[in-house]
């Protein structure tokens, strides 16, 4: 009997009287070993996919977003300095910059959220719930790489307490927890999530110089020994540097202004400023493929949201020339909206949250389409907010139960009419 044997770990199980320790053990045990207790009898369908494994599939689908997101943090840093501007230049330095920026955000996101989960599990006397697995992986990807960690901590505490535990915990929340955390920062600290500075890490913007820590430069000895490029502190920013995202450029000058700074290829691969996980459309498409193949996410929500974006975008294109100050943005071809901002990320990982989305098939079509419609309206028509998906999804989260209610009610009415017709 060794450490890979289930029976070995069963012997370490704490007594149920020690609620917190038993809950912690149960959470870790079922994470690595699927529950071996099944219902008895011939009327039950048994399968290996439980809630933890469903959540883990979503986390796996996010993996490439993390890898390319970390690389892009470093790439944007050196673009601001005018150094190592090629895609494959100084990969080691770019990855170090990215990981030093990303790992603290990831660690804080999970430690703070899981600490709250553990507290409520011990308080209520139940096992640790696995619902935060995906939330803890999503929050770092929808934040800028230079977000202050204390601000991130406040947003997570606010979101988990108010958006989840107040409604009863995992599976009971009405709105998406990750988006609620982002909404808290957006409305409480708007300057930290907009402008040019948040998208570029390891830069002292007050003095316009690089700001490397010991964690960055500790690798210099090894890099020098390998005859690779090393970190050099105190370098100035390019005078022509702009950290403007494609959305900001599109609002002021349309698609032409965007392509003057960023190529469509850079926007597809992920070489642009933005939140960590939204920049690489390639990584997101790989994630969409994983979610669809494993049937973890609803294709109906994805397809209907894309349809809402396309039809609304076509409507804007048709009337954009006569809309004055809105003309430039409304004239952006509808298909180019998929290359900008967090549209694809929202479509893949946010709108498809099974807890806060509609549960009926018809409701999913309505829910997804309205997210696409409202998101495009907010993105194009609201000059105070260059992105619309966070607000559109939170709005539809609130209305999802109402949509399901009327869908079910309509189904009941149709069935009653058929029964009465036969009688």
- 305-332 residues labelled b (16+ CB within 10 A) or e (exposed): bbebbbebbeebeeebeeeeebebbbbb
DSSP, collapsed to helix, strand or coil, labels residue 209 as strand
Does the global pTM surpass 0.85? yes
Nearest to 142 by CA among 16, 275, 273, 315: 275
Enumerate residues 6+ apart whose C-beta is below 8 A from 411: none
Q: Which residue has the tokens 């100084």?
A: 90
Q: Cβ–Cβ contacts within 10 Å for residue 95, how many? A: 16
Please report the pLDDT score of residue 60 as a whole number: 92
Please report the pLDDT score of residue 46 as a whole number: 57
CA 386 to chain centre: 17
Which residues of the chain have a pLDDT value below 70?
A: 1-13, 15-52, 125-129, 321, 324-325, 423
């Amino acid at each position: 009997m060794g450490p890979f044997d289930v029976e070995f770990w069963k012997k370490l199980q704490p007594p149920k009287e020690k609620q917190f320790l038993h809950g912690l053990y149960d959470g870790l045990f079922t994470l690595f070993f699927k529950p071996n207790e099944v219902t008895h009898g011939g009327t039950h369908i048994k399968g290996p996919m439980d809630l933890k494994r469903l959540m883990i599939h979503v986390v796996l689908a996010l993996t490439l977003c993390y890898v390319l997101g970390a690389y892009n943090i470093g790439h944007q840093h050196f673009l601001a300095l005018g150094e190592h501007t090629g895609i494959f230049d100084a990969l080691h330095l770019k990855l170090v910059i990215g990981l030093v920026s990303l790992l603290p955000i990831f660690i804080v996101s999970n430690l703070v959220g899981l600490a709250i989960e553990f507290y409520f599990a011990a308080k209520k006397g139940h096992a640790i719930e696995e619902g935060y697995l995906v939330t803890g992986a999503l929050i770092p990807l929808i934040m800028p790489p230079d977000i202050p960690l204390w601000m991130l901590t406040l947003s997570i505490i606010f979101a988990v307490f108010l958006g989840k535990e107040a409604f009863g915990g995992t599976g009971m929340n009405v709105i998406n927890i990750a988006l609620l955390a982002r909404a808290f920062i957006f409305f409480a600290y708007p300057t930290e999530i907009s402008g040019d500075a948040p998208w570029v890490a390891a830069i002292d913007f007050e003095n316009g110089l690089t700001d490397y820590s010991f964690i960055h430069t500790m690798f210099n000895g090894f890099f020098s020994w390998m005859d690779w490029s090393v970190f050099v502190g105190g370098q100035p920013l390019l005078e022509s540097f702009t950290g403007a995202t494609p959305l900001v450029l599109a609002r002021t000058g349309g698609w032409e202004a965007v392509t003057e700074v960023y190529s469509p290829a850079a926007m597809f691969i992920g070489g642009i400023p933005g939140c960590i996980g939204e920049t690489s459309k390639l990584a997101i498409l790989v994630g969409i493929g994983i979610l669809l193949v494993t049937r973890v996410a609803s294709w109906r929500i994805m397809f209907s949201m894309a349809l809402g974006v396309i039809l609304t975008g076509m409507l804007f294109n048709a009337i954009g020339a006569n809309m004055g100050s809105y003309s430039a943005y409304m004239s952006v071809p509808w298909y180019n909206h998929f290359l900008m901002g967090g549209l694809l990320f929202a479509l893949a990982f946010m709108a498809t949250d099974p807890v806060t989305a509609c549960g009926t098939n018809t409701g999913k079509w309505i829910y997804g389409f309205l997210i696409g419609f409202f998101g495009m309206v907010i993105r194009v028509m609201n000059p105070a907010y260059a992105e619309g998906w966070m607000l559109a999804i939170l709005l539809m989260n609130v209305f999802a139960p109402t949509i399901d209610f009327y869908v079910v009610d309509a189904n009941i009415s149709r069935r009653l009419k058929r029964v009465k017709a036969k009688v």
